[in-house]
Every structure is written in structure tokens, then in C-alpha cells.
Chain A
């Protein structure tokens, strides 16, 4: 085929390209961890604590050990001989945490023993046959009592159960010395026309990726190497941590994230079950598998959120907010996991919201309790900040009788003020908050909706409107802000047949990077989408990487992929220039050809140039053979996407049941590679944000028993719980990366949650309601309508 006959390739970046991942997923041929089979595979099952807090007096494993087919039973003490306490990723002092409890149990579901057996059913039977004698201690459940040391100490050496005793931040706080000067804060509140003061909770949630966690570990004796397959968001971090825990070199560990069935933050942490599987595989010299049950997941996979705030806001009568102060108390559960202690610090960081507030102060305390440990959950700290700020702004609007949109507009950071350094120390990269607000108001028909609400109220119906605005910190980030390192890695190879294979350290679990990254590379090289393959998730294939979290894949992983591509492209131009007897700067890459600018008919195909690059006779001077290169890249700053979510709600007067009748979202994630995938990301975030507001809550009773231990007691949104989402976006690019992309994975969870609660409070305002804590249980709303407290 001559160049003139070659089809002109369609534009790819910014287009709704169908996902490369889907054919295997829709036909049932994808391989998740539980789909793996290896010869001689053994199965693990964990015996878990039924008590929230207690001393292990005795563990009787004899019945389990006698069962035919049981290979091994290990208690925590036995495992501790080959596996030390687990590492974490934050700098705060932390109690020892063993993969299996050694002497005390500190939450319901904490492992106390592990069984290895020939088959999964048998492993479960044997685990159930283990008898554990625990001397109960008082369960620490209420974080505010825990801070007084009541009713017990979760860990020795952590006085008053303080995991992080006191971190101040914002106006008047010297970040170097942590010295606090209250003068500006006191002055602002003393001079305010209006003070808003409210205790608010951001309840505990269970992430509930549809694929529970799972791991297969295979130590190969003689080879002295381990391969570990895990449903993880970050295989390279898994590799690093497994090597450290086993005391082997990183060259001896290969970590593979196969198909991963959702993460939402809970698959960032490296868990005790992964370390246990690795250690046992090495001990037995046999492959082992552990697959989590959903009931286990509710107890043993990290929870999210669980932070309460005492919020104080000072304002002038015209709606100008002059100061914001939050006393934050995070209930982190029983132990520090990888990023546990860091999540609430992101809440602190984002307390300026989208507003030019001159005085912002936060004080954070993190508290141990006898609950499942918390860690990242979609949004990780930012939805909490958004919720507190946006509830406070709505309370101010209500107090002043102002339109909630007007209060926000009055205080917005103006479009020309970026980069904008907040009182909390964040440097917002770019923003145009008014445009997205206007678009949301227009799309929702805000004025019309207000009339409809008032009309409905006049008819005796309980209807409310809620609006919330968010900004989040994404594209994490400079290494200074991430204990894992804040860079990403990519490799690009032109195969000998001219096709492109690339590797990325951003290992996805549903985000569609195989598609979006191929769109970008194909366009960069001017080749067909189908000629680009993206590999990920295997540390034996992908040299280096960090992983997928903090809405960083596009902003960081995408950028480094382009950088690696650019290196290869430059080299490819040298080969093409030699073949075409042209200057390499005069070449264009388009429609699968490399040709001299202005004469497309004279070019060489990708396959021809690649073929020459791998058998270069003669080798052009100053060029090495081959077409493959890699890149690392770290952004100088985070990105700060933003948006506005509006909802309308009707509450059934007789039952208190809330129902959403409208959801409008306008999000600004900067440059978009694939709008279809971006819509999907926001849809999912909206559903989770709405789920938090309305139906999701992890509940412990006063004994520390997990009441919501299955999908029978913990609801996640079903298709008929949600209305149609009306989507739109604005585009404000970021200067932080050359593409201008900000990230979108978590955005949906940010505005939706406060928007829903704002709508509920608006609906209930005729009953004198000024605030209601999540979740919006019908009974709670019904009581409020009866004039009772929530």
C-alpha cells in the first residue's frame, strides 16, 4: 500500500473510544486472582476474633490439625517467628501490628490463626474447628471517650488512645515549630456578624469493591523467588513490601495484579493476609491461595472515612466568610495501616474549599478504637473536608436567608487569583469556579427548581434542593507528599513489526488505562489505535511504578507515558531521516507513516522504519540500534479539579424515606482523553457519594460488635436507588503537566454527599431542622418531622 492509499486515521484524544478491556470481561474470560490455578495449590483460611478487645488466653488447634487434608495450622505467635510486625507508610509512631494477633485482639475480625489445607471448604472447616479462649476487655468504641482514656487502652504506650495526639494547621500555625497564634482567629470570630457552630460526623464506610481481596503466593524453592498475585492497586509497592517482610531482595519478588475487581482505595494497603500467604508459601515451598469472603471483607478490609468535626464559621451579614475553624477527631480503628494516619491530614489540607477565606484553622487528633482500621476510601480525606465546609456554607446561607449559590459565589477564589495558596498550605493550580457554578445552575434550572420546591411545599410535600461545590487534590503528587514516592514510570517499545507496546506503572482496576493510554500514544505516533498495546500490573514486565490511587493515573501516569513516547519518537525520527535522506526535524508522523513534511507520498511505514532500526545497515552515526526507552516523571505540584453537584430530594411524609428526583453534575477535570470513561468515573463516584449520604454506614454496638457485617445489613446503592445523572463539564487545564489533565477518579464522591444532605436539610427546614448527620435513615428523618431529635 502506498502512502496515498493509506486511510487517514481518526482523531483519538478526546473521543469516546470503546474500551480495549471489555471483550474479555463481557465474555467471562478475564482472569481475576481467584481464577488462578497452580499445580499443588493449597488454600488458606483464617480464624478471626469474635471479640472486639481481649487477651488471648489459649488457642486449641488440635481438632483442626487432625482433619485429613490439613497441612498446617499456625497461630499468631508461631507466625511471628517468621514474619515481623507490618510496616506502614506514615511517619507517626505506631504500635506493633502483626499479621495474626499474637497476644491481644483489638477488633472483631482480627486474625488469630491460619489454616492451610488441600481444598477451600476443608480449610474453612478446619478454621471453624479452632477453639480460641479470649479474656474480654472493655471495648473502646466512642472516639471522644477513647480520647479521655475510657473505657480502656487499645495499645500500651499510647496514652488516651491517641494515635496522632494533636496536629494544628492553617492560619497562625508555624509549620516548622507547630506553634499556634490564635490572634487572627479570635479577632475574626469576635468581629463576626454571624457565627455558625455545628458538630458534624462523617460516618464510617465499607469500601466494598465487588471483588473481595485475594492473593496467590508461590515461592519456588531452588529458584528462591516468589511470585505473588494479588488484587492490588499497586503491585510495585506490594513487591517492595513483600521483599522487606520476607527479608529477601526485591529481585526475588515478582508481584502481579491480574484483573482487579475494583479498589476504591481499600486495595492500596498491603495486608496481613498477603504477608501471611507469602511467608507460608516460602515455609512450605508450595503455592497457596487465600480468597476473602464478603463477610470477612466487612471486618478485615480497611474501612473508610469516620471523622467528626466541630465546625465554627464566622461571616459578615453580606455572606462574606471571614474565618473557619475545625476541630477534627478521626476514629482510625485498631491499628495504623499503610496510609491510615495520612488520610485525615488530606481533610485538613482541603479545608479552604473553593473559597478565599482569610482565616482557616484546623486541629486534628487521631484516635485508636476497637474497630477495623481505616485507610483510603475513594476521595480519602477530601470528601470529608468538602462535606464539612459545604454543610457550614449551607448553614450560613440558611441563617442569612441567602441563596446557597450566592453565598458560594460571594466567597469563591477568583479566576485570576491562580495559582492560589490556601491558608492550609495547598497551592491550587488553576480554577474557574464561577463558570462551572453557572453551568450547573443553568443545567439544573435552579430558579425553576426553587419554584417547584416552593410549590410542592405549598402542597404539603417535603421537598428540598441541595447544592455543593468541591475542589479536590489529585494527581498525587510530588514525592514530598507521598511516602510511596510521587512519580510514575513508563516504557515504550516499537516492536520489530512497527507496532507499539508500552508499559505503565499505573496499574488500573477498572479505570480503562489500556484504552486511554493507547489513545494517547497512538495519537502521539500517528498510528492506529489497534497498533498500540498497554501492559501493566506485572512487576516482571513493568520495570517500575507506584500505582493507581489519588486520581493520579492520567495526570502522572499519562504524562510519563508521553515522555517515554517522545524519547522513542525522537530516535525513530533519526532512523527515518537516514532512510529518507532527510532532516529528522522535517519529519511528520501520521497515518502510520513517517514522511517528510509536505510530501506524504515519500514516507516510510512504521514497519519499514522499525525493521531498519533493528537491523540497521548501515547504522546511522551516533545512534544505537533498537527502538525502546523509558521515563520517570514526578509532577511539581498536585492538581486541583473542581465541580458543582446539585440534587433535588423528596421525603415521604408518612415514612421518612428520602428519594432523589434530580442529580446534576458539572465537573472540571482539565483535559479529557476519553469522555465516555470520564462520565463512567463520575457516575460511579456520584453513586458512592450518594450512598454515603443516604444508605451506607458501618455500625458497631457498645461491645464493639460489627452490626453491619454483610450486604444484608450494609446497603450499597442499587440501580433503583438512583435517578438519571445529568452530566456536563467545563475544561480548565492545569499547568502542572503538559496535557493539562487533572484527574477524575474520585471527583464524583466529593460534591454529591454534601449536596444530598443539604437537600435533606432544606427539605426539613420547615420543621426547624438545621443539620442532620448522615446517613439519612428514614426513621431519623421521620423523627425530625415529628419534632424530635435525630
Chain B
């Protein structure tokens, strides 16, 4: 072939490589040259479509071999070796005295290059860099790393005179609780590493040393020797563990095996290096956990020193370990001694481990990473729950008796009377009531207990689960039979019953009981008696929360008026009622402006209250601060929060729902102020607190999870964008032929960012998925909140690159009836779903969805900014789809209308730049494009002139 043709051939081949449709066209260009066309078509035939693109991961190790560090301090001058601590497969560990810059004892790990492969060497050098990133009291500090004069790599780390965690616990004869508390610290340390994107990969007791520090047992995780950055990996995988070619480790090969066999996770055992993530460490941590409790590793019956590596791998992948309590053989003297070491008899140990600790251990040891704890902090939290007698996450999801028992144990004193009484009611039912002679006496008695019962469960600590609607219905039936609507007892009884219904989200029943109670009180004691007023307040709230708002506004107003008349406008009781009224108006769809005004008045009126009424004063302040956040007045809001929260906590206590509610608003403020990390940290803490004090399916917990997931998603999106721009910089340097070092640094940073983003998104997904599923179960799909979380779930999946899964998940919307599809959040979720199809470039599907949606939007949304924003979004999306489908007329019409509807000028301008202009130019509509460009170039672009231009274009299309 002629030289000129060669180049032509390669160019054409490349041009048609990924564009099969273009091939015929390309061939036409050279149709006269038979040799060229034949060659082209036969080569294209052989570029298999299944060809996997190259992995873009670069190998850090390679780069290091090719670009060695230019200069290193020589450690001989810096360190004076005192003794040899250990020597093994990787090299020698010395105890040494560092001479400068400061004198201290260090553990000096020197790798013997004569005996190890380049692979191991790189891994070692890498260790220093990885470790230097971490700083945590439970992770051994790395002071220095580099090369010795003999070119042996070394790492100088904190010298620790410690023992492996298992030995330490046994030598100190720690009991189970002490062991758990120590273990929780290990979780803390490892969590830190995971947050830095570092996986240990070799967690085992000898890598968790424990030292005594000021009388405290302090664990130190060492030897992140085979840790690697999870984002950009680099270390060559050893091939020993590949299926079918497993060989026994020999002396010379020791240290080449990734992970110590017995603590290895199933995915490591399967050689699935690509699947190794932080949950791999969680498995190994689970093995250590098991060993600390039981005294032996989980599969010790199958694994011993004699077991070959191949066999180990098989067992770890296939055999399920027995639960800790089942592994203990009370007749075995080894276990008896082991139990004694833990201060128990072997039978006691079995009881101590059964249920909670069994569940926790087995969850950590799940074969599939997805079934394990999602993070070290979750593992940690679950152990804490166990120690605090709260239900553990690893436990059964819905086993009411289990949760109830936990609850009773926690609130033993308050609950015992009430719980007993409830049992009596449920078991004895009518029989118990019938034995009583005097109906009034009976009622008083029941009343007393019921109020106590409700008082115990209702306030801030619980919702659902303990009381059941069924039980309340039984009670109501009795009440209806016994009473005649003329006694104060009946009123107070019905009031208590109503509150109980309310907390079971049984709004209708609650309203009914409250109304009845109010009717009786009003008749017997007057409308403005304290009892009547209390019921009136609750009734207003119950009506306000129910879907049928009816007379809620009137009830709130009456409540406030009566209290004002009786106590004055600034009385704490009145202010409380006024706040409730303001909250009612704040509910979306009610009257936001009115709410703002009411909150402001409360705040103004409360400022002059004495310290005696600090509680209500703080409430008014923080609620006003939340309104300021909504109105973008962040600085004022921050100041107000900072001033009021300490007082609020002092008055109500850390765990009170008012305080937690305020903390939630405060955390949101950080989101608004663009301090995402701080917001995430606060929401995370808040979630932990709410999980600890509330029942597991509380809607407040869901709110926290939602908020946390939101922050994580937004933060991750930003990290991904930042990583992209770093890679761009790296490419730019590359083009300029700039230093490799700077480029590697940028790429490493980008990879670390991507890894962090992925971790965040992973957590966000699991949070939002849980929220969605819980809501779907308890409230059904056709619910404002459920649909909101469904939309969020789709978003998170999309961000994680799981576009198809996002489409699949959001398909649930189709289950809604035509009418239900008009719920505001259903409209918004449907818009999100259509957008997924746009991303997938399935414009035909997107078009159908959006057109249907547009009809529904026009039918259902109330006039006002929120409805207009959604309709605007839909119109602009639809315009984009029409452009992709080359339906110019429709595209322009929709775009014009979308611009007019949309309320966010920044978004609109972005769409004009990114969608409209390129489309006009592509289609040779140059005059209009030029006009629009002129508008955009204005200091204050007159965007509202554009729709007219588009319509004009439609009216007079160019030829």
C-alpha cells in the first residue's frame, strides 16, 4: 500500500470505528480506490463491537517505577536502630531512635529489596503516602517514609508497645461490655480511614494493637501495607488466588497473598479484586468481633493452620458461620475457660450473646457485601444500641414484641404500670369492665390509667408500635357503651383517646374524639375553661394535619383569641398557640406570607419575656430563625440560632423534640449557606440522636435521613464536577508537555475526589432507599412524602451512573391512578423520570411522558410560583426533546412558553445558551441566533424579548 494511502486508511478507519452509520458515507469518499475500500471494510468487520474500552485507571506503581523520587533523606542519619522487633516476609521491623528533627522512639519498617518483587516494593512505598493522609487517635501515626542509602524503602511509624486486641482482652480479662467498648473505638479509627478513601484490606487482631494510655485501653490500627486508594488503583493484583491456579503459599512467597486467609472476606477469597471496597474491611472486622466475643474465629471448625489456601478460600466463600451463641459448647473446657475470662459461666455467655450480638456478628459476616453494615459507623452505632438497650439494626425489621421489649427495658419505670394496664385491657377486654359495678368508678379508673399510658408514650419519645389502633378501637367501643355524653370523666377520657389516635396517625378518629371532648367541656365548664382551651388547641392541630382542613383556620383563630382574652397576647400559652397557628399557615399550599408575618409577631412579642419564660422565648426565636433561612437571610438566622439554641437545650433537654426540630433547621441553614460539610455533619449527628430516642419508623427519623441524603448527594455532585475540572487541567498540562509529577498529582486528587463522591452517593442511596421503602409501606405510594423520596432515589441512582436502574425504580409512578398523578410531588417526580429518558437519549419515550405531564400540569397546578416553575421546567424539557427529534416548530413554541412560565432567570438563561442557541445555529437559523446573542450580551439581558422572536420565527420560517 502506498504511504499516503496508509495514512488515509487509518484516518478513515478511526472515523468510522464507533459510528457504524457513517461507514457507508466514508467509503464513498474513496470509492475509486478499490484497495482502500476493501481494506477498510474488512478491518471494520474485525473491530468487534463487544470490545471493552480500556480501563482508564493508571497504575500508580508503574509510574513510580518509571519516575522514581529524585531525592530522599537517608534514614541512617536520622534513625539509630536499637533492636529488631520482628522480621518476616516483607522485611524487618526495628525499634529505633529518631535523631532529628525531634528525638523519639519509632518503629522502623525496612523492606528488603533483595527478596521481594517490584510489586511488593511499590506497595510498600505507597503505604507511607496513604498513611500520611490519616490522622486519628486509633490509627498508628506515620512520621516519615523514604529510601535508605541501600535503596531499601522504609517507613517510620509510631512505636507501640501494645498487644494484639484479642490477647489484650484475654490478658486483662475484659468482660463483654468492656470488649464491645474497645471494639467500638476500632470502628471509629477504621471509619476515619474509610472516609479518606483508604481500605485496609488486612484487618486482623495482630494489626490492631492495644496500648494502655492514662489507664484507658487505646487501640491502634497498624499496617495499612496493602491498602490502596479505592478510586484509582494501582497495585498489581497477585495472581495466586485466581480460580484454578491456586498454589500453597511458600516461604519465599509469603506476604504476596493479599489478606491473611482466615480474616479474608468472601470477595477477597474469590479473587474478585474489583469488588473490594470498604465493606471488605467490615467483614474482616466482623471476624475480629466474633473472636473477641466467642474466643475462636467464625469458621474455626473448618479452618486451621493445616488448611490449604485453596481450601480456605472455598470455605470462606461457601460455609455459613454458626451464630456466636451457637458456637459455644458449654461442655468444652476451652469454652468454659474462655467464658471465665469474660467473667461469666459458659451458659451465661451463651445467653449474653444470643439475639442482639448474634445478629450483629452475622450481619457483619454476611457473604454478600450488600447485606453487611454499610459503614464502620453503622456497625459502631449498632453496638451502642445494644449497650443502651435499643433495638439493633441487625435485628428483625418488624418484630413488634422485640421492639416493645427493648422499649420497655429502656423506660422500665415509667412504662411498667401503663403497659400492665394495657395488657389487662387487651386480654381481659370487656370482661374486666363488666365486673366493675359502678360505671363512673370504672371510667375514672380507666381514665387514670389511660392518661398515664398516653402520657408515657405520647410526648416526644414514641410514635406507633406500642399502641395499636385495634386496641384503641376496643377501648372506644367500651367508652361509647358506658358513657352518656354528660360527664367530665368522659371528656377527659375522650381527649386522651383522641391524643392516642393522633399519635397513630389516625387523624379522623382523633378529630372525632377531640370534638366530642370539646363539646362536653364547653357545655359543662364553658368554652374558655382551661380544659376546653387545651382540647381546642389539639383539635385545631388534628384538623390542620388531616387531609380535610375544613375549619382548621377558624379553630386556630378561636384558640388564639380565647387565650389572648384570658391571659393576654404575650402569655406563654398564647404564644404557643400563636406559633402553632403560624405553623399551620406554613404548610405548603396554605399561606406562607401569613405564616411569616405570624412568626415575626411571635418573635417580636416574645423578646420581652422574662427568663422565667425562657423556653417559649427560645422557641419563638428559633422558629423565626427558620423563617429567616427560608427568606435567604442567613446571617441573621445564624446569629439568632447561635444565641437561642443553648437556652433551648437548657430548658427542654438535649433530646426533646423541640430541640431536635430546631437542630434540624439549624443544620439546613448550613446547606443554604453553602457549607455542605458542616450541614452533613450536623444532620448525621441529629440522625443518630433521633434514631436513639425515637421509634425506628418515626417520620422524624425519615426527615433526618432525607436531609442527610440530600446533602450527601449535592456534595458528591460537586466533588464529581471538581474532579472533572482537575482531569481537564491534567490534560492541559499534558498537551503543554508539563511535568509528569504535577499531572499525576492532579489525577490522584481527582481519583480521591471521585472515590469520596462515590462513598457519599452510596450512603445517600441506602438512606433514601430506606426512607422510600418505609414511607411506601406506611403511607402508600400516592403520598406527597413518598413521592418526594422516590424522585430523590431516582436522582441518586442517576448520579451514581445507574441510569437504567433509576428508570426502572421510577417506573412505579405508573402504578398511580390518573387522579393520583396530579399530586404536586407526583408531577415533579414524573418530570424527574422524563429527564432520565433525556439523559438516556431515548427522546421518543421522554416526549410521550412530557406531553402527558404537560397536560396534567395545566390541569392541576394552582397559579403561583411553584406551579409555574414546574410547568416551566416541563416546557423547557419538552422543547429540548423536540429539538433532539428535529421538530422545530413545536420546539420553538414550547421553548417560548417555557421561558415565560419559568421563574428562575438564571436557569432560563442557561437553557438559552446550552440548548436553544446551538440548535438554531445547527439549523441555519442564523438571524434569530444572532439576535439572541445580542440580547445575551446585554448588561441586563432582556430575556423576555426572546419568546416573541421564537414565535416570529415560527410564523415566518425561512425557506
A binds B: no
